[in-house]
Amino acid sequence: MPFSILGLIPPLVRAATDLGFSVPTPIQLATIPAILQGRDVQGCAQTGSGKTAAYGMPLLQNLHASPAQRPRRVRVLVLVPTRELAAQVGEMLRSLGQQLTPALKLAVVFGGVSINPQMMGLRGGADLLIATPGRLLDLVAHNAVTLSAVQTLVLDEADRLLDLGFAEELGRVLALLPEKRQNLLFSATFATGVQTLADQLLADPLRVEVPATEHNEPIILQRVIQVDAPQRTPLLRHLIKDHGWTRVLVFVATKYAAELVAEKLYKTGIFAAPFHGNLSQGARSQVLAEFKDERWEVVVTTDLAARGLDIAQLPVVVNYDLPRSPTDYLHRIGRTGRAGASGVALSFVSADTEAHFRLIERRQHLSLPREQIPGFEPNQTEPASAGDPASAPGTGGVKGKRPSKKDKLRVAATADATLKQLHA
């Protein structure tokens, strides 16, 4: 089934073909016609399913059909949670729109770098702006951009943008937008806690949820290896050398752990680099570029790299530390097995984290066999806190089965504040 049957114009169809998109994915089939018609859309599909192109192609076509005024004013705003995702979305949309005449002006802005070049780049305006919320608000404060002409708002990785960490900034951005606009929300997951906020943004939306099937589910072999916590780094080193893996993305719980594990691997002859939020934007971009070029064998990262990043042909993801939530598990392993490729996702589980991994399995409807690697069999078979609760080790970011009363109050307060901003 060609893209042309979806109502897309020839330049966009040719650009999609040049990018290797032979036929529309299920999320693209379901959402492109509705976006072309101006409908609000909430799209949920697994990682690597083509969500960026699903909203990007129809929005580029709508912009192309309505010539820009002079000076240009931002008509499409795409909000993303991270700098890396902003750059990636910008690259994709530029590639999709490269054959449009006259050319549209796209701008990408994010924090962690000097604001001055971004202000210069916005002189004369832009048709489409891809931004992280914090830097966008900075540019508005500097009078470098206005949002009063925005016709379409896109939240990419919408569940994260609607969550606690971005609620205040998102509310401030929404207050700057025209009340009448098209809203598009896309993500691989929509937790129950953010759906109420999503509902406040959308008007008579098309809701699309593409379930994983044997035809569209990523080909990811999920393995669970039992190992004592102190033996995780030696085991990781052994697996890399034994399997001859040339690129591995390793997830840890903290920035300190990213530095420590990368350093230990590097000292044993494995080219490993850390990746986390404390690095400069230049350093982060360089690590990713070199990892994609296979100049690094291993990148050890926090959940900063869990969402949205597209690293083609990434063969292996390792959960050195388990993710805090079952949703994060889905996003992490989704970095491999993308665009029809296969991949492997390993999770290291100790006696202390076994209960948490069982929670992940229940929430994700999984039942995975436990493996032990010869020479790395665990000695600890019971949680350290089994006999004495006071002796329980730190969780390293693992979230318990039930939120505390304090957690619930914090979530409720933030949600209430955001809802007030939405109605303001």
Q: Write out residues in the chain with pLDDT < 70, as ranges.
A: 1, 164, 212-218, 308, 339-340, 385-424
- Domains annotated for the chain, with CATH where assigned, are 3-209 (3.40.50.300), 219-391 (3.40.50.300)
Q: In degrees, to the nearest 5, what angle opens at C-alpha 346 toward C-alphas 341 and 347?
A: 145
According to the model, what pLDDT value does residue 198 have?
A: 85
CB of 302 within 8 A of CB of 328? no
Instruction: For residue 218, give both structure tokens.
Output: 């990523």
202-207 contact pairs (CB < 8 A, 24+): 202/40, 202/42, 203/40, 204/39, 204/40, 205/39, 205/40, 205/41, 205/42, 206/30, 206/31, 206/34, 206/39, 206/40, 206/41, 206/42, 207/41, 207/42
What's the pLDDT score for residue 308?
A: 63
Q: For residue 132, give both structure tokens.
A: 């992280």
pLDDT of res. 147: 96
Confidence (pLDDT) at 78: 98
pLDDT given at position 392: 40
